[in-house]
Structure 1
């Protein structure tokens, strides 16, 4: 666990000073020029034929104000890139292009293939950027969490939650959900991740039963992660500084999609107009180049952003101690047992212990058992000898569990064990899961 002495949450005023060191380079003039050409070209195409409901829907979004939050814009860019790639699949080409009967049609197909290849590569880059950034934020938060079973449980809960989210997306795809439906779900899941982080600070919902046990987590951290995503919270400074160029690029990619969709709808009846595809290719090249440059810049800002500042900077200080371990001396030839009564399935039994070593390095036996109402004993964690251990398991049966430290094999040496154990009630998401096995799975 990282030191928390003298740390306070960042404020918007502090971020303003920090961001002064990272001035965002303006977008290239070609972004505005080509976006204007795409808008004008779309109007010309609409004069040729009335827009369909599907075309109207995309045009309405192109003429709307982009989302305010930076990560929402990134999801929107991914969505529209995928929609463009879908349009560029061969089976979606107008029949005139599929036939490729004239040299001009062949030239246009070459442009389409180049655009498709570039967008596919950039989509992977954007996906990787988002994944790395999300993991970075989580890892920074976890740096300040206790590195015992409490931090481990939060990590496990996150992994379980991510598996559930992925299964939800796959179910939507398998049921025929559209690209738009999938990204609506992905953004909903992103908001759920935000709520889960905020719940660490407010002790509600999924993490309510975990936060209760986060003795030693600095309150400044809990306060920060509760307010970080507020509309007028600390990150608003980031949005005002770096949002406008991203908003322009979000609008640009929607206009690229609108322009291509209108082209596809009118190509059969009209002339090919290769110059329109030249504009499309230029727009895609500039869009990719400028968004990639922006992401590399904002990625550097994200990586170096100070989640906390020192007390000297903020003229305040706060620290909390984590000293909730207990110690017990186990005489030679004896054992020490702790009974934990679990009321609910999907509760966690967790432990963290180590021997207080003297001049001679020693070990101690450790095991975990389940005792049924009839007195039948089931081994949960097989007996083993070790100097220390940290682990937990999710219960599939309510009842009595016994944790045993065994020094019965020692004829001469007493052992002092420093430990903490707990039975933690099920978190909300875990309680919805069905047990996959007949016995608890133990991790350590």
Structure 2
């Protein structure tokens, strides 16, 4: 059993500096280009023939933003890949294509075979990533657990729980559940694991005593479990660094699925367009290669990231973090602004500030604006008065963003502003449910 003496859970400041060592090479520009092309072709198909309710449901999903949680995006990619493979099975091809009556149809069938191979390989890579990551996290946690009968009981309990969850999945499949139903259940199971972790981490009183001493869970692991998945906790750093690339890939695979579904639904009423098939082939190639590259990269990041760090390191990181703050005085009737220029979309702009006048907290107006190259001003965050605030947003376009603190309404009082702002460029484009990102 590894000692936890002097250790504390990883902090967001620690992960920020840790991730600095792991910049992700941005996704290929083809991801954005081909996603746009696929959506345009999908819209053309919808204009040719009205969409069915099932098709419209998928259109609405494609129009929505991908989930913010990293692991939920992994499950979504896995689901969409399986749905595409379902459409690529011969029994689900359009009737004319199944007959392969012309050389053109034979050529299409050969291309579909190549797409199936690429997608099956990517699906296998993703399944392996999720399985290995879950085992790695569990085994890491177990190094801090008692290496006696209690550790054995915990392993047996995990195996039993996973068998029960698999039995739920098998029962759903046997009853005719769809791919979507299966992944909804898988995600519910993932969230149930997380709820159980949260309950364990928040244990109090007699139950906490039992958890700590009878089961042998160290206090520091309970602290880790309790705070790791908080919305603004340590994993938010991971979401901001690597999330935008994963979100783009989620959108891309959904665009592939939507186009193929619409294409199949109208195949018999139109002559196949070779240029559309070529875009689909290129899109699958780019998606599978970029997604597998992302999985390989994030696997290394996860494998080397600790759960616990020394209290001394955490304190030093907090001190350096605090040193990043700046201070300024904003006179009555005046404003103060900080301009940040970002070169591309999917950057993150973040801020944190507080206002004080002597020992008495006071508020100040604050807003965020975007200035386009033509000089047009777009409000990003509307004006509001705060004593303190922290927040962030993902940019939709490159350009100049202004963070403005407004003391113009004050006649007599100057404001002492302590702040920190930053632009996190797409490093990318900038415990399974714990360290694998939520």
- State if a TM-score over 0.5 links the two structures: yes
Matching residue of 2:61: 61
**In 2, Cα distance between equivalents of 1:114 and 1:218:** 51
On the 8 A contact 2:212/2:218 being kept in 1, the answer is: no
SS in 2 for 1:8: strand
Residue 217 of structure 1 and its aligned partner are, at CA, apart by: 3.9
On the 8 A contact 1:83/1:257 being kept in 2, the answer is: yes
Matching residue of 2:281: 281
Residue 3 of structure 1 and its aligned partner are, at CA, apart by: 1.5
Matching residue of 1:330: none
SS in 1 for 2:279: helix
- TM-score of the superposition, structure 2-length normalised? 0.69
Matching residue of 2:404: none
**In 1, Cα distance between equivalents of 2:295 and 2:144:** 27
User: What per-residue deviation string (whole Å, max 9, x for no partner) do you get for residues 253-312 of structure 1?
Assistant: 000000000000001011111221111110000000001001111110000012111132
On the 8 A contact 1:24/1:242 being kept in 2, the answer is: yes
On the 8 A contact 2:115/2:284 being kept in 1, the answer is: yes
For these two proteins, the number of residue pairs brought into alignment is 314
Residue 208 of structure 1 and its aligned partner are, at CA, apart by: 6.9
**In 1, Cα distance between equivalents of 2:304 and 2:133:** 12
On the 8 A contact 2:12/2:234 being kept in 1, the answer is: yes
SS in 2 for 1:309: strand
SS in 1 for 2:309: strand
User: What per-residue deviation string (whole Å, max 9, x for no partner) do you get for residues 44-83 of structure 1?
Assistant: 1111100000101111111110011111000000000000
**In 1, Cα distance between equivalents of 2:268 and 2:72:** 36
**In 1, Cα distance between equivalents of 2:273 and 2:109:** 13
Matching residue of 1:154: 154
Considering only CA atoms, is the larger Rg found in Structure 1 or Structure 2?
Answer: 1
User: What per-residue deviation string (whole Å, max 9, x for no partner) do you get for residues 125-150 of structure 1?
Assistant: 11010010111111111111111222
User: What per-residue deviation string (whole Å, max 9, x for no partner) do you get for residues 107-129 of structure 1?
Assistant: 11111111011111211111010
Gaps of 5+ in 1: 317-444
On the 8 A contact 1:104/1:274 being kept in 2, the answer is: no
Q: 272-281 vs 181-190, which deviates more?
A: 272-281
SS in 1 for 2:268: coil
Matching residue of 2:299: 299
Q: 302-311 vs 173-182, which deviates more?
A: 302-311
Matching residue of 1:222: 222
**In 1, Cα distance between equivalents of 2:202 and 2:48:** 56
Q: What does 1:142-221 correspond to in 2, within 5 Å?
A: 142-203=142-203, 211=211, 213-214=213-214, 217-221=217-221
Matching residue of 1:129: 129
On the 8 A contact 1:146/1:214 being kept in 2, the answer is: no
Q: What's the Cα RMSD here? A: 1.6
Matching residue of 2:28: 28
Q: Per the alignment, do residues 200 and 139 of structure 1 end up closer, same or farther by CA in structure 2, a change over 3 Å counting?
A: farther
**In 1, Cα distance between equivalents of 2:248 and 2:28:** 11
Residue 197 of structure 1 and its aligned partner are, at CA, apart by: 2.6
**In 1, Cα distance between equivalents of 2:82 and 2:229:** 27
Q: What does 1:247-258 correspond to in 2, within 5 Å?
A: 247-258=247-258
Residue 167 of structure 1 and its aligned partner are, at CA, apart by: 0.3
Gaps of 5+ in 2: 317-438
SS in 1 for 2:234: coil
On the 8 A contact 1:150/1:210 being kept in 2, the answer is: no
SS in 2 for 1:268: helix
Residues 1:102 and 2:96 are matched in the alignment: no
Residue 6 of structure 1 and its aligned partner are, at CA, apart by: 1.3
**In 1, Cα distance between equivalents of 2:228 and 2:123:** 27
